[in-house]
């Protein structure tokens, strides 16, 4: 059964003020309901005013996603009754969005963008004593109400969860390079996913955060819908919630249709003309695809490594370029970032921007290898301490006395001791069993606390066991 998936991505824009008032958007860690005013609380008689910066950001995103920007836009009232919108309507765009008809290419396939529009974010709801389906009561924090959201709606062009994750990863990178979005912000990017099996009704999964959770939610929903079809039951059109702990979706409510929202023109805001001169005045930065191409051409590194560095995190690409100013072995630099640095960051569950890793100290580690003071194998151990602490690699080497053993006589003594202690392994090596060689190398490295060069150790063992 063919799977059809379309997604709606809600992106918090990095404006300093909210979409329709001057309240600050810097709400994380602040006391609840402090960054509010009569406008974002929906008091009768309050008059909204559009934040031009939010429209600028929307135009940049539309250009990056190959969309047609409408010459004239307006806002509408989307009416519904929920506790996260005190005025019982959301100011959004429906009839004429900011932009239409774009696309983003992933895995050799074009995913069509149906529309891009601006709207205000609702309040943050805190479910006490359970989750959204089982909480004893709900608290509302209106600090988030009114923060500008950019909603990007795709056509149902995805046929696998892998495509969805690839799309979100690339889109996130583009928005980061535009400097209109910060992935480290709470609820900075949320996804609503519409999913159906060909010929069946679709279900919508609301407010999924995290790319991995989007993939898990969709995988569960595909299995759920296939099982319903197998036993002859129909899939109902409804809105569902994804529980990250149980990795399952649950019914929230029967799905509303667009006409149920009763859209009307927002009478407190005028129509806005988007002129060509306005569009041209917004400078487009270097986007990820072009940056990857430049990395390959300028630094002569493999495209696969350049893609990892650029697309995983803009801050990681910036880090690479900062390091390249003080360390010219670009291939070595790229290799260590893509392998061991990323591995350690993931192990510590932090990003490069959250870590204490700095270009100067990271390059210090690579130069220790180049000078022969430590082996690559030893550097792989040092980086495990360096990443979470930010401590100077040279300092770690001094404190733990980890300088590579260079004296051949000194190393020979260790090798001879290991040969003497492991006669069976030596006999196995002489009998042609290659695993015995690695066994002996491992023991030498253990005795030297991994400060010996494995290549030199192998050569010595082979020489001294003949």
Predicted local distance difference test score (pLDDT) of residue 409: 65
Model confidence, pTM: 0.84
Instruction: State yes or no: pLDDT of 233 exceeds 60.
Output: yes
Predicted local distance difference test score (pLDDT) of residue 258: 64
Topology adopted by domain 408-464: Arc Repressor Mutant, subunit A (1.10.10)
Predicted local distance difference test score (pLDDT) of residue 444: 74
Average pLDDT in the chain: 90
Predicted local distance difference test score (pLDDT) of residue 402: 62
Predicted local distance difference test score (pLDDT) of residue 102: 97
- The pLDDT tens digits for 25-78 are 999 989 999 999 999 999 999 999 999 999 999 999 999 999 999 999 999 999
Contact 261, 80 (CB under 8 A): yes
Three-state DSSP state, 9: strand
Instruction: State yes or no: pLDDT of 415 exceeds 80.
Output: no
Instruction: State yes or no: pLDDT of 449 exceeds 80.
Output: no
Give me 341's structure tokens. 């640095």
- The pLDDT tens digits for 340-368 are 999 999 999 999 999 999 999 999 999 99
Instruction: State yes or no: pLDDT of 328 exceeds 60.
Output: yes
Higher pLDDT, 399 or 19: 19
Instruction: State yes or no: pLDDT of 408 exceeds 80.
Output: no
Contact 121, 147 (CB under 8 A): yes
Instruction: Report how far residue 82's alpha carbon sits from residue 249's, in angstroms, rounded to the nearest whole number.
Output: 21
- The pLDDT tens digits for 109-122 are 999 999 999 999 99
Q: What is the DSSP string of 164-224?
A: HHHHHHHHHHHHHHTTS--TTSTTSEEEEEEEEETTS--EEEEEEESHHHHHHHHHHHHHH
- Domain-wise residue ranges, the chain: 3-281, 288-400, 408-464
Higher pLDDT, 376 or 196: 196
Instruction: Report how far residue 109's alpha carbon sits from residue 154's, in angstroms, rounded to the nearest whole number.
Output: 13
Length of the chain: 466
Give me 8's structure tokens. 């709606």
Instruction: Report how far residue 26's alpha carbon sits from residue 37's, in angstroms, rounded to the nearest whole number.
Output: 15
Instruction: State yes or no: pLDDT of 443 exceeds 80.
Output: yes
User: Which whole number is the average pLDDT over 257-268?
Assistant: 81
Rounded (10°) angle between helices 161-177 and 314-324: 50
Instruction: Report how far residue 226's alpha carbon sits from residue 214's, in angstroms, rounded to the nearest whole number.
Output: 18
């Amino acid at each position: 059964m063919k799977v059809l998936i379309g997604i709606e991505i809600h992106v918090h824009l990095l404006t300093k003020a909210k979409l329709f008032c001057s309240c600050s958007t810097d709400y994380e860690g602040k006391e609840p309901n402090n960054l509010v005013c009569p406008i974002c609380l929906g008091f009768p008689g309050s008059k909204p005013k559009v934040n031009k910066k939010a429209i600028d950001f929307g135009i940049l995103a539309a250009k990056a996603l190959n969309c047609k920007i409408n010459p004239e836009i307006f806002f509408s009232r989307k009416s519904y009754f929920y506790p996260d919108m005190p005025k019982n309507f959301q100011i959004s765009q429906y009839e004429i969005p900011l932009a239409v008809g774009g696309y983003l290419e992933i895995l050799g396939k074009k995913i069509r963008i149906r529309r891009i529009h601006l709207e205000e974010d609702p309040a943050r709801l805190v479910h006490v004593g359970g989750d959204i389906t089982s909480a004893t009561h709900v608290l509302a924090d209106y600090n988030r109400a009114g923060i500008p959201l950019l909603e990007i709606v795709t056509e149902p062009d995805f046929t696998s969860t892998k495509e969805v994750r690839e799309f979100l990863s690339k889109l996130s990178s583009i928005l980061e390079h535009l400097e209109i979005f910060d992935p480290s912000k709470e609820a900075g990017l949320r996804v609503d996913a519409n999913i159906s099996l060909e010929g069946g009704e679709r279900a919508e999964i609301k407010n999924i955060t995290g790319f991995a959770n989007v993939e898990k939610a969709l995988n569960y929903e595909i299995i759920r819908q296939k099982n319903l079809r197998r036993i002859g039951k129909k899939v109902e059109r409804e809105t569902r919630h994804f529980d990250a702990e149980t990795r399952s979706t649950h019914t929230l409510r029967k799905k509303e249709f667009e006409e149920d929202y009763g859209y009307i023109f927002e009478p407190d805001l005028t129509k806005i003309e988007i002129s060509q001169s306005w569009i041209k005045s917004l400078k487009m930065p270097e986007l990820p695809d072009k940056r990857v191409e430049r990395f390959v051409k300028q630094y002569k590194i493999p495209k696969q490594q350049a893609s990892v560095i650029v697309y995983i995190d803009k801050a990681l690409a910036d880090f690479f370029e900062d390091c390249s100013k003080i360390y010219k072995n670009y291939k070595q630099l790229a290799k260590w970032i893509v392998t061991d640095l990323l591995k350690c960051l993931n192990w510590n569950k932090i990003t490069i921007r959250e870590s204490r890793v700095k270009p100067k100290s990271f390059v210090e580690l690579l130069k220790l290898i180049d000078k022969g003071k430590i082996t690559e194998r030893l550097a792989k151990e040092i980086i495990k301490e360096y990443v979470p602490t930010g401590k100077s690699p040279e300092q770690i080497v001094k404190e733990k006395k980890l300088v590579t053993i260079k004296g051949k006589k000194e190393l020979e003594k260790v090798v001879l001791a290991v040969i003497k202690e492991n006669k069976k392994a030596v006999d196995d090596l002489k009998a042609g069993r290659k695993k015995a060689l690695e066994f002996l190398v491992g023991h030498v490295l253990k005795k030297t606390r991994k400060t010996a060069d494995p290549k030199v150790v192998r050569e010595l063992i082979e020489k001294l066991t003949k």
